[in-house]
Structure 1
Amino acid sequence: MTTRALVLTASILGEKGQSIALAEHFRTRAAEREGLAVTHRDLVAEALPHLEASELGAWQVPAEERSAEQRALAERSDALIHELLDHDVLVLAVPLYNLGIPSQLKAWFDRVLRAGETFRYTESGPKGLVEGKRAVILAARGGQYAGTELDSQTPHLKGMLGLIGITEVDVVFAEGLNMGKRDAAIEEARQAIDALVARL
C-alpha cells in the first residue's frame, strides 16, 4: 500500500530558502523509502491570487447553474481540494514572515478551507470533513519563537488544519537560523524529518 504525501513550499527565496531545504530533505528521504510517493506544489512558482468576492461567490452557486466564468473560478478551489483529498499526508514547508505565514500559503488555505466541502457548520461549531489525514509542518525561522507568545504561526496553522479535520500534526522546527545556530538547527531538523519519514 502506497502512502501519498503532498508537499507544499512557499518560500519567496526559492532554493536559498531554508524551508525549501527542509522540504527537499523530506523529498529525498521519501524517495529512498518504498511505499511513499510525493507530490510537490510550489506556491510561489504557481502563485494563487488573493481570494476575491467573485471567486467566493462562484462556490455558492450550484455547479449546474454556474456561468463559464464561475465554473473557471470554482475549478481553482475544486482542484486544490481534490489534490488534498487524494493524499494521505500534507507536508507544509513554512518560513516565518513577520510572525505569520507567507501570503502564498494563506491563498492556498483560503481555497481548501471551504464550508460545505472540507468542513461544515453544526450547532456545536464547525466540523471537519477531511478524515484520515495527517500533517507535518517544517518550520524554518531566523529567530527562536517556539513555545513563546510570539509564535502565532504554529497555532494558526494547527487551527486551520483542525478546522477541516486534520488534527494529527507533527511540527519540526529549525530555529535560530540567523542567530549563529544554523548548522546545528538544520541538522537537528533533518534528523527529526528522518524519524518522521520512517514512521509514515
Structure 2
Amino acid sequence: MTKILRIDSSIKGDASITKRLTDKVVDQLGGEVIARNATTIPSIDGAWIGAAYTPADQRSDEQKALLALSDELIAELKSADTVVIGCGVYNFGVTGPLKAWIDQICRVGETFRYTEAGPEGLAGPKRVIIAYASGGVPVGSAFDFATPYIKQVLGFIGISDVTIIAAEGVAVDENAAVAKAEEQILHLAA
C-alpha cells in the first residue's frame, strides 16, 4: 500500500483552498496517510542549529530534545512513498509554517550530506505533489518565488519527482481556479 505524507501549511485551517486540494489529492491517490499540520511546527533557532551540527554521539540530552520533532518529521518523510504538500502563496513565497517544516527536515547527515562533488540528497527518491494556491501569482511567473524554492529544497535533499497542481488567481475567480486544479487532480495516477 502506498504511504502518503500530507503536509498542510495554511493558517486558514479548514477555510484553506490548499487544504481542500490536499484532501482531493489524497483521496485520488488512495493509500495510508500520515497527516502533518505544519502550523504547529516551531521555527528553528540558534540552539537548534547547534544541536543539529553536534555529532549525534556527542549531543546532550537537551540537544536531543531540541531535535526530537525534527527526527520525527524526517522519519515521516523518509517512510513516505508520496508527499502531498499544501502550498498557499503569501506575499509571493511559501507560508511561515511550510518554511518551518522545511527547516526541520533539512538536516546535514539526515536528509543531505556534503561531498567533494557537492551536496548529496539522502531523502529520495519519492514523488511529491504540490497543491498550490495563489490570489494572482501564476506558477512559473516572474513573481512565483514559492515553487522554484520548494523544488530547489526538494532537489537538495534528493527528491526530483515534483508535480504541481495549481489553483491560480483565486482572488479573481476562486471557483474557476479551484475547478482547474481539481481537473488536474483527476488526472493524477495513483
User: TM-score category by the smaller chain?
Assistant: over 0.9
Deviations 1:132-180 (A, max 9, x none): 211111101111422311011110000000000100100011011111x
1:59 and 2:52 are equivalent in the alignment: yes
- Counting matched residue pairs gives 190
For residue 28 of structure 1, report the CA deviation from its aligned partner.
Answer: 3.0
| TM, length-normalised to structure 2 | 0.94
Q: Corresponding residue for 2:2? A: 3
CA offset at residue 5 of structure 1?
0.9
**Contact preservation (8 Å) 2:137, 2:168:** yes
Q: State whether residues 137 and 143 of structure 2, in contact with CA within 8 Å, keep that contact through their aligned partners in structure 1.
A: no
Long gaps (5+) in structure 2: none
Provide the secondary structure at the position in 2 that maps to 1:135: strand
CA-to-aligned-CA distance 1:65-122 (integer Å, 9 cap, x gap): 3222111012121111111001011111110000000111111111111111111112
Q: 2: CA distance between counterparts of 1:153 and 1:63?
A: 32
CA distance in 1 between partners of 2:106 and 2:57 (Å): 22
Q: Supply the distance in 2 between the matched residues of 1:144 and 1:101 (Cα, whole angstroms).
A: 12
One of 131, 134, 141 as aligned partner of 1:138: 131
Give the structure 2 partner of residue 40 of structure 1.
35
Partner of 1:194: 186
Aligned CA RMSD, in angstroms, stands at 1.4
Q: Distance in 2 between matches of 1:80 and 1:144?
A: 29
* Partners of 1:108 and 1:25 in 2: CA distance: 22
Which aligned pairs between 1:1-200 and structure 2 lie closer than 5 A?
Answer: 2-30=1-29, 33=30, 36-44=31-39, 47-179=40-172, 181-196=173-188, 199-200=189-190
By how many angstroms is 1:194 displaced? 2.2
TM-score, length of structure 1 as denominator length: 0.90
Structure 1 residues 115 and 64, CA, compared in 2 at 3 Å: closer, same or farther?
closer
Distance, in Å, in 2 between the alignment partners of 1:91 and 1:128 is 19
- What secondary structure does 1:165 align onto? coil
Letter in 2 for 1:12: I
Which one-letter code corresponds to 1:27 in the other structure?
V
User: C-alpha separation between the residues in 1 aligned to 2:162 and 2:94?
Assistant: 17
